């Protein structure tokens, strides 16, 4: 009897898992991004796993590599949140490498170019912006400020609540500690943290 029940469990588990996968794909990604998918503003190497609503906004291009996963049900603050990938204008591009995994509620906002290398892990409430949202000059506060770019290397680990600002570069394998504000260029194989982020130690 036990063997029969176990056989039936494994027989029906796979179709149920597939249904759940397609359900999440549709409601967490396809439905919110119908327009940009139709207009070919989203380039997918394969179909990533979308465990939280993921919205690609703007007139630019969002490119997502193979075996990527967005959101994590057990990562905290999962319900009611979303992931936003904003390539704001036609010239903007967000390039996400292969095997990227993120926690919940992250935002990437590009007015020019953001690149994330393969095998990078991104914690929750991470913000990555390649430009100043408003000008520094008091008379230009309603305009977009300085626009730069951001390059994040391979196998980087971004902790929770990290903010990465324009013209930042992070080398391969580097760890960015929770709550850090990153502005500038940092080498590979180090741990950085603080406001502004500084090298804490070598790996």
Of 40, 78, 131, 134, the active-site residue reads 134
134 is catalytic: yes
Other beta carbons within 10 Å of 97: 20
Dump the DSSP string for the chain. Answer: -HHHHHHHHHHHHHHHHHHHHHHHHIIIIIGGGHHHHHTT-EEESS--EESS-EEEESSSEEEE-SS-EE--TTSSS-TT--EEEEE-STT-EEEE-SS-EE-SS-EEEESSEEEE-TT-EE-TT-EEESB-SS-SSGGGTTS---B-EEEE-TT-EE-TT-EE-TTEEE-TT-EE-TT-EE-SEE-SSEEEETTTTEEEEE-
Q: Which residues are catalytic?
A: 134
């Amino acid at each position: 009897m036990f063997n029969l029940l176990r056989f039936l469990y494994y027989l029906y588990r796979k179709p149920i898992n597939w249904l759940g996968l397609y359900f999440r794909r549709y409601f967490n990604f396809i439905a919110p991004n119908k327009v940009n998918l139709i207009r070919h503003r989203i380039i997918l190497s394969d179909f990533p796993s979308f465990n939280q609503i993921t919205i690609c906004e703007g007139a630019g291009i969002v490119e997502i590599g193979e075996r990527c996963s967005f959101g994590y049900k057990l990562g905290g603050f999962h319900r009611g949140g979303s992931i936003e990938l904003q390539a704001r204008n036609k010239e903007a591009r967000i390039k996400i490498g292969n095997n990227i995994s993120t926690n919940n509620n992250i935002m990437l906002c590009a007015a020019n170019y953001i690149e994330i290398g393969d095998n990078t892990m991104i914690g929750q409430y991470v913000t990555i912006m390649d430009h100043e949202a408003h000008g520094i000059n008091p008379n230009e506060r309603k305009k977009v400020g300085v626009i730069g770019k951001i390059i994040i290397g391979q196998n980087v680990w971004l902790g929770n609540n990290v903010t990465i600002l324009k013209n930042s570069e992070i080398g391969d394998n580097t760890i960015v500690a929770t709550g850090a504000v990153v502005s500038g260029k940092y080498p590979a194989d180090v741990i950085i943290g603080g406001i502004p982020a500084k090298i804490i130690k070598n790996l």
